[in-house]
Structures are given as structure tokens and as C-alpha cells.
Chains A and B, each alone.
Chain A
Amino acid sequence: MNDMTPNRDERVANLKGLGCKRKRVEDARFTQGKGNYVDDIKLPGMLFGDFVRSPYAHARIKSINAEAALALPGVIAVLTAKDLEPLGLHWMPTLAGDKQMVLADGKVLFQGQEVAFVVASDRYVAADAIELVEVEYDDLPVITDPFKALEDGATVLREDIADKKEGAHGPRRHPNHIFLWEEGDKAATEEVVSSADVVAEEMVYYHRTHPCPLETCGCVASMDKINGKLTLYGTFQAPHVVRTVASLLSGIDEHNIRVVSPDIGGGFGNKVGVYPGYVCSIVASIVTGKPVKWIEDRMDNLMATAFARDYWMQGKIAATKEGKITGLWCHVTADHGAFDACADPTKYPAGFFHICTGSYDIPVAYVGVDGVYTNKAPGGVAYRCSFRVTEAAYFIERMIEILAQKLGMDAAELRRINFIKKEQFPYHSALGWEYDSGDYHTAWDKALEAVDYKGLRREQAERLEAFKRGETRKLMGVGLTFFTEIVGAGPVKNCDILGMGMFDSCEIRIHPTGSAIARLGTISQGQGHATTFAQILASEIGISADKITVEEGDTDTAPYGLGTYGSRSTPVAGAATALAGRKIRAKAQMIAAYLLEVHDDDLEWDVDRFVVKGAPERFKTMAEIAYASYNQAIPGLEPGLEAVSYYDPPNMTYPFGAYICVMDVDVDTGVADIRQFYALDDCGTRINPMVIEGQVHGGLTEALAIAMGQEIAYDEMGNVKTGTLMDFFLPTAWETPNYVTDHTETPSPHHPIGAKGVGESPNVGGVPAFSNAVHDAFRAFGLKQSHMPHDHWRIWKTANSLGLHG
């Protein structure tokens, strides 16, 4: 080495690898308006599709007359179910083992349902034409309440399967029943509950909401009839799965389908499913021979694609007098809407809801989930959440608070005495999961100390006294949450989507001059994969992240993967990236040994090079090795330096965190002022702390929205009351607080770099933190449960029902 050689620390810094707050490579194009989103795509001769949607939530279709629409200049076609039927495409399979109408087949089952697809020369003509399609309806009784749907004699919604006694997930006991899914030991749990010192029982409702990414869903389908090749651009969180589904549905060989996810303007689960718009666009392109674009407007988006939650969770939590939890019982009535289109791994119709024992060592538990049809939009997607984990976290974190109230205990202490202890990991939960690693007590103590928890409780007690004396009309609430997530789906042995195992992949090519390209089976929707996956790789192969291009989303070039949702990118594709990097390094070691004329074992890896043990002046850098791999004939080795890894995770990962929200609640106006929010996250090894912090801020703001005002609400006729951003709450900069973020770091023992994933933690943990703060403000007045969202009106009603308005 000479004086010009950077020292080791400098070489590590140059990599911009793991742990670096690397600035994002995506930002240059996004900040200058040069992103490429699906609606930016324009192809020669492109047509535009739009839907005629049902104004009724439940009605029979008597007739559809498209004559006037077809007479409008610029209208090319109007597709209905009758046109799709000969192709077998008027219905399509859902991800949950059900089937869904692509276009209304004889009846409609929810407001906003797709009835006809108009294809026109531009979006204005299409919008004019949908108004000219005359549809005659005979309205039918509407069911929006899942409990009423299961009553004897209730109107049968799904006549197509009315007589089917067996569904995709077992027996159906009513025509509007989809499944009963159970886990745990029911008899033992009921025995514990019936004989316990204390049992807290409550119905906890997690209302229907919507992921509502700022960019709606859309696609451009382009059938090249000469070459027989279909290209489909779209907002797909799982482009490879879309390709496979498109092939199975259309009969086009999979190699003749190219699916491209361009830049995606946020997904949050909304863009996992396959929607009628995609199917109709493909059909329209095949029929017309021209590219067809379909883009949802916001009302379409909120009314028709991918709601989330809508879980009625009846819970019983049993404990000793001292507060040691002895059992947990839960029954969920899950409103799935008109078709079961939940996006869950096949085996799990209630997703990973059975993580609902949370962070606590609960010896026995039972959960049963009844899926039910209603006249609402289909969906049940994981809105920034890993398959119903947020419902589970909300349920257990409410039940803990309700139990603390019943025991007269401090809720922080109740959590502490029931946490799974550090030495119990790997921990086997009563509902069948193996938690990989955790140190809950350390995280909890750090969080409580950071906010001066005891001080907050003193202040709260003083405030309460002042309130009772009539000196203030604001109550103070301290919302606690300790959550455990389950992400990184998942092991192929028990996780698949439509039969595709939930592995993921990375392929790396090292270029002769020492830079590289990596392609993955995932797709960023804002997470910054091009930045962070390059960091993982930089630390593995000793090439600066600045010299590694990361590419995703083009199924013609990327290796097969299951996409990005459920916080799975880092746990699964991140692992594949690290392992593909290690394959590169293994071959590089052989090349270096040849160049240095030593045995492979005489070399050791040092940041960005292989060094001869005991002779630090003799080394080959990765750049030198890369060049040699292309220009030297090395005996026994193929030229080039490439690797691919398909990673089947051995287990899920279990990130966790402690969130504390402090708010002042005005009992007269119902306004809740969030004055402090502290978020401690443990996501294992931290790849880019800047990106992690950004994910936490964003997820917490989504949680704020959900807990405090956002919902998809229906009236009794099944009309959507929240179809625009006028009614559907998205917080602005004005009502969003500043967050304080913090962390502990407990690596996953089974992940190659110990990373667990973080994107969804803040949504999962944030919702109960906000909601618990509202409840806590009213705890002294005996409030047990008031359903979300806690908008001003509902908080006012709560205060009123507790007699606080005099």
C-alpha cells in the first residue's frame, strides 16, 4: 500500500453501504418532474377506457343499451359482460379463492361496480360516452351490515354460489357466509376464560378504510398482433404475479406477456390486486389492435378498488388478580364486501390476524374469523400492513388497555409484566407463530423514560383535577402501544399467492470496469429500493452503492418475484440481494486467488478487496477482479461475474416497537390536539436510517388519518358517503404533528443481514397509539370502547354520552 491508498474507514465510507444515510438516487428525477408514472405513458394510436358504474348497491340489470354511446364520434366500443362471456372473462378469480365479476353479469352487488367498459379516442369522449350508456336496473334489498347478512332469511347476495356449501376455505353455513377460519385451542381457552380471576370483554371495531395512494390505479395494455406480444404497463405492486394471472386468464403464453411497473405513486396495498380495469383494457387492446389506457379517477378509486379493514373483533382477555394474562379469546366478523378479494397468502383467509397475542406471553388462545358477504366493494387489502396485522395489533392493544382499566392497573406496567422475555426467543406463540427475536423490556423502558412517563401521568392527574374544578375543558390522554409485527412473507412451504410461492429474487451483473446492475423481483412505490438495495449490495461486494444500478418492475428483465407489500422487500428480496452478493464474492475470491497466485483459503475479505492473509500489501480490489473476470482465461472458471439468488425465507421476521402519543382532547369541540408523538422502532439491522425515519413519519401520518377521521362509510342504501377527498380524510401539513423517532436494534437471527423490515410498523403501531390516547383521555370517566375514527363529531358524542356537557 502507498500513501495514496485510502485507509479502511475511508474505504468503508466510500461504499455507502449498510447504515449510511445515503441520499436517494430516485430524487433527481422526481424533484424535476421527470418521473415516469403510468399516466405519463403515451403510445401511438392509444385509446382510452372508462367504466359505466352502478349507482345501486344491489340491483338486477334489466337491460344495457349502448346505441347512443356508440353513435358518439370517437367511441370505438362498449364492452359488457355479454361480450366477455365467450372469452370466459366476464368473471375472474380473486386472490382469495373466490371469483369476481369483471363486468356486471345480470346484477350488481355494490355501488360503483363496473357495468360496461367504454373505449374511445380520448378521455373526454370516453367520459361523455359513459353518460350515454343506458342501463335499466331493478333494485334489490341492500345489506351493509355483516351481522344482518348472516341472519336467517337474509337476502342472498351471491346467487352464483347460493347452493355451494363448501368454499375455498371450508364449509359455508349461510349463503352470505364465506368461511370460518380458526386457530388455537378453543376448548382450553374457553376453560381458562370461564375460570379466570378477571376477564375483560369487549367488541373492538376496526372500521373500513382505504389505502388511497395519491396516484390512483391504472394501466396501458398494448397488444402487438404482428408479434403476438402483449405489453401491460400499470400500477402493479406485484408485476410478475400479474403476468402469470394475465397469461392464465387470456391464454397468451407467458413469454409473450411483458408486464412493466413504471414509477408508482404510492401503493399501500391498493395496487396488489387484479382489477376489472386491467382485464378490460387487455381485452379492448386485443379487440381493437390498439393500445388502451385506463386510469381511475379518485371516486372510482375510493368506491371500487381495495378497501381495507372492516373487522368486528369480539374479545375476551383473562388474567390473574395481579395482572398476569392467562388466555385470549377472539371472534371476528369480517366484512369482505361483495366478492372475497382479500389479498392474503392462500392458506390464510384472515391473513396473519393470529399474531393477535401481540408482544405478550399468553399461554392459551383461540381466534375464529367469519368472513361475510355484504353489498360493499370487494377488497380487504393490507393497507400498509402485513395481512391483517394492523387489525390484530389494534385488537390486542385495546384489550390490554381495557384489561388495565378493569384491574385498576397502570397500562404500561400491565404490558411490562406480560411481555415475552428476551430469553424466551425464539418464542412459540399460542396461535402457532415462532417469533424470531426481541428485547421488549429494553425498548419499553427506553420509550417510557424518553417521554418521562411518570411525569406525564402526574400532569394528566393534575389536568383531571383542574377539569373537575371547571378550570379547563381539555382532558389529557396518554396513548401507549407496544406492537409486534409479522412481516416478510414468506416461507414457500406455507405462503403463496395463487399458487406462487412467496420467495423473492435478485440477479446481479458486475460490469468489466467495476460497476454493476442488480435486478429484483420487487417494485418500489416510494420506498427507495434503488437507493437501499444498492447499499445492501455495496456492503456485500465492495462496490460503492453509487456504482450499482438497481432495476425493478420489468418482467422481461427482472427475475421472478412476488413483489412489494407486507413489508416483504427487505426481509425477502433484501436477503436474496445479500446472498446473490455472496455468490459474487465467492467467485471473486477464486479469481483473486488465481491473480495473486495463492490458494483461495489464503485470502481474506477486507471491505472492497481480497487480501493475502498476513501480507496486506498483496491484494486485488473488486474492480480489478471484475476486469480480470472479463479479460483473463482463468482455468476452471467461466468468464464473467454474475449471480442470481432466489430466497425462500425460513421464517417471517418480527419487527417491534413502542409508541407513545400525548394529546389534549377538547370535550366541547371534540378536537384532539396531538402535542407529542414518540416512536421507537426495532427493525433489526438498519440499512438506511434516513429512509427508515421517512417511512416511520409517513406510516404514522397514515395511522393518524385512520384513527382520527378516515373511513369508507356507507348509508343504509349502500351509497358510499366518502367518495372524494372532500369527505375522505387525508391529513395536511397543518394537522400533522412532528414525530420523534428512536430505535433499538435486535437483528433477525435468520436473515442474512439481520434486517426485519420497517415500512408498515408505524401504521400497525400508530393506529392503537392514537386511539388509545383518545380512550385514555376519557378513562377516568369510565369509557371502555368508542369506535374509530375519532373525528371531532365522535369525540364530542363520547364526551356527551359520558355526561361531560353538564
Chain B
Amino acid sequence: MADKMHLKLTINGEQFETLCEPRELLIHVLRERFNITGPHIGCETSHCGACTVDLDGKSVKACTLFAAQAQGATITTVEGLASPEGMHVLQEMFREHHGLQCGYCTPGMITRAWRLLQENPDPTEEEVRFGMAGNLCRCTGYQNIIKAILAAAAIMNGRDAAADDAVKTPEEVA
């Protein structure tokens, strides 16, 4: 066992520090040392994205990153998205459009979508599908997740989401 290292991170605007082994994975440090349990573990191989957090402005999969690699980073997790005024519009739209069922992928999904809409503030459906392809969901079939993200984008761009065809069901468009 290697000597422990002094890890310092800024998470959701707060300072955190701990002594941990360099080999500890970021997801374990977040969940077990800091009790930030929004990000989940689904595969340990970077495929499912349940562990997605935002690290220095990029979506990363915390299950395959050593905590040591995150030294000094600024991290946002799903717990950091809501404000005192209420839930983030993405969180509201996931609820509005039934973009989640068991909820296990949801924190990673929303955290990824949050970064995606900063990378591309007004994406097409295809761009959302491509941009979210690193996050797996076993319950929803993605259709309502895509709808939720497009609705959030519309609102963030000052449009009426309900009037947006992309957000309607095929039956409603017909």
C-alpha cells in the first residue's frame, strides 16, 4: 500500500480535502470519503457514464480516473446544479418529460447534458444523441431524455419549449 496523499478538490463550490491512496478512483473518493453519492458506479470501464462528473469544464467518467489525477481540480456533480431558487432547468425538464425511471443513470446523464449545452447551446436532436452517447440508460430508451434536453435548451435560449416540435411526441406533431 502506497503512502497516502493529501488531496484537495473544489466540489460544487466547496473546498474538500482528504488523505487517500493515490490509486483510489475519483468515484470512490467522492462517494465514500465525501459522501457525494449522486454519481453512481455502473460498469467500472468508462462505458455507462453513471459516474459522470464535470472536471475543470469537461465531462469525465469518475470510475476510471485516479483521485490523484484530479488533484486541485474544480468538480461539479449533479448535487451542484440546483440553485437556491430551485432545480436547474435540465432537472425540471427531465421530470417534465419523463426522462428517467429508476434514476440510476440520471445524475450522470444530467451532469453530461449540462456540459453538452454549454459546448453546444442549441443542439439538434442528432447532436444531442451523439453528445449523450457516452451515457447509458436501461429504462427509458432515451427518447424522453433527448426530449428533455431539447426542451431545456429551448428554455435556456428563451424559446417556448412547448412550441418546439422536437419536444413533442410524434403523435402530437401529426
B45 is contacted by which of A28, A690, A726 (Cβ under 8 Å)?
A: A726
B19 contacts chain A at the CB level, 8 A cutoff = no
A123 closest partner in B (C-beta): B28
B145 and A733 form a contact (CB under 8 A): yes
Residue numbers in B under 8 Å from A736 (CB-CB)? 141-143
B91 contacts chain A at the CB level, 8 A cutoff = yes
B104 and A214 form a contact (CB under 8 A): yes
A424 contacts chain B at the CB level, 8 A cutoff = no
Known: A265-B104, A732-B133. Contact between A697 and B40, CB under 8 A?
no
B21 contacts chain A at the CB level, 8 A cutoff = yes
A197-236 interface mask toward B, CB cutoff 8 Å, 1 = contact, 0 = none? 0000000000000001111100000000000000000000
B139 contacts chain A at the CB level, 8 A cutoff = yes
A214 and B102 form a contact (CB under 8 A): yes
B40 and A212 form a contact (CB under 8 A): no
B-contacting 9-mer, from A31-39, A539-547, A569-577: A31-39
B138 and A34 form a contact (CB under 8 A): no
A24 contacts chain B at the CB level, 8 A cutoff = yes
Residue numbers in A under 8 Å from B37 (CB-CB)? 33, 37, 39-40
Q: How many residues of B contact A (CB 8 A)?
A: 62
B118-142 interface mask toward A, CB cutoff 8 Å, 1 = contact, 0 = none? 0000000000111011111111111
A134 contacts chain B at the CB level, 8 A cutoff = no
Residue numbers in B under 8 Å from A702 (CB-CB)? 138
B90 closest partner in A (C-beta): A31
Q: Would you give the shortest CB distance from A490 to chain B, in whole angstroms?
A: 25
B82 and A212 form a contact (CB under 8 A): no
A738 closest partner in B (C-beta): B143
B105 and A214 form a contact (CB under 8 A): yes
Residue numbers in B under 8 Å from A695 (CB-CB)? 101
Residue numbers in A under 8 Å from B132 (CB-CB)? 732-733
| A771–B102 CA distance with the chains assembled, in angstroms | 28
B44 is contacted by which of A37, A297, A527, A740 (Cβ under 8 Å)?
A: A297
A32 is contacted by which of B38, B44, B105, B128 (Cβ under 8 Å)?
A: B38
B98 contacts chain A at the CB level, 8 A cutoff = yes
A698 is contacted by which of B48, B79, B139 (Cβ under 8 Å)?
A: B139
B50 contacts chain A at the CB level, 8 A cutoff = yes
| A265–B41 CA distance with the chains assembled, in angstroms | 11
From DSSP, what is the main secondary structure of chain B's interface residues? loop
B residues 22-45 in Cβ contact with A at 8 Å? 23-24, 28, 31-32, 35-45
Residue numbers in B under 8 Å from A701 (CB-CB)? 140-142
Residue numbers in A under 8 Å from B40 (CB-CB)? 37, 39, 214-215, 265
Highest count of chain A CB atoms <10 Å: which of B91, B100, B101, B141: B141
A730 and B144 form a contact (CB under 8 A): no
Q: Would you give the shortest CB distance from A247 to chain B, in whole angstroms?
A: 28
B94-127 interface mask toward A, CB cutoff 8 Å, 1 = contact, 0 = none? 1110101111111100100000000000000000
Known: A32-B79, A214-B42, A733-B132. Contact between A37 and B104, CB under 8 A?
yes
B170 closest partner in A (C-beta): A740
B47 contacts chain A at the CB level, 8 A cutoff = yes
A215 and B39 form a contact (CB under 8 A): no
A681 contacts chain B at the CB level, 8 A cutoff = no
A725 contacts chain B at the CB level, 8 A cutoff = yes
Q: Would you give the shortest CB distance from B141 to chain A, in whole angstroms?
A: 3
B91 and A31 form a contact (CB under 8 A): yes
B100 and A266 form a contact (CB under 8 A): no
A33 is contacted by which of B41, B79, B170 (Cβ under 8 Å)?
A: B79
B147 closest partner in A (C-beta): A738
| A741–B144 CA distance with the chains assembled, in angstroms | 13
Q: Would you give the shortest CB distance from A766 to chain B, in whole angstroms?
A: 10
| A730–B49 CA distance with the chains assembled, in angstroms | 12
Residue numbers in A under 8 Å from B139 (CB-CB)? 266, 526, 694, 698
A residues 678-736 in Cβ contact with B at 8 Å? 690-691, 693-695, 697-702, 724-726, 730, 732-734, 736
| A691–B139 CA distance with the chains assembled, in angstroms | 11
Residue numbers in B under 8 Å from A37 (CB-CB)? 37, 40, 104
A31 is contacted by which of B41, B47, B87, B136 (Cβ under 8 Å)?
A: B87
A99-136 interface mask toward B, CB cutoff 8 Å, 1 = contact, 0 = none? 00000000000000000000000111000000000000
B129 and A31 form a contact (CB under 8 A): no
B95 is contacted by which of A24, A39, A73, A525 (Cβ under 8 Å)?
A: A24
Known: A214-B137, A730-B138. 11 other contacts (CB 8 A): A31-B94, A32-B78, A39-B31, A697-B141, A697-B142, A697-B144, A724-B43, A733-B142, A738-B170, A740-B170, A742-B171
- Ordered nearest first, which 9 A-B pairs have the shortest CB separation? A33-B38, A526-B102, A30-B103, A265-B104, A697-B141, A526-B101, A701-B141, A725-B47, A33-B78
Interface set of A (CB-CB < 8 Å, partner B): 23-24, 26-35, 37, 39-40, 42, 73, 122-124, 212-216, 263-266, 268, 297-299, 525-528, 690-691, 693-695, 697-702, 724-726, 730, 732-734, 736, 738-742
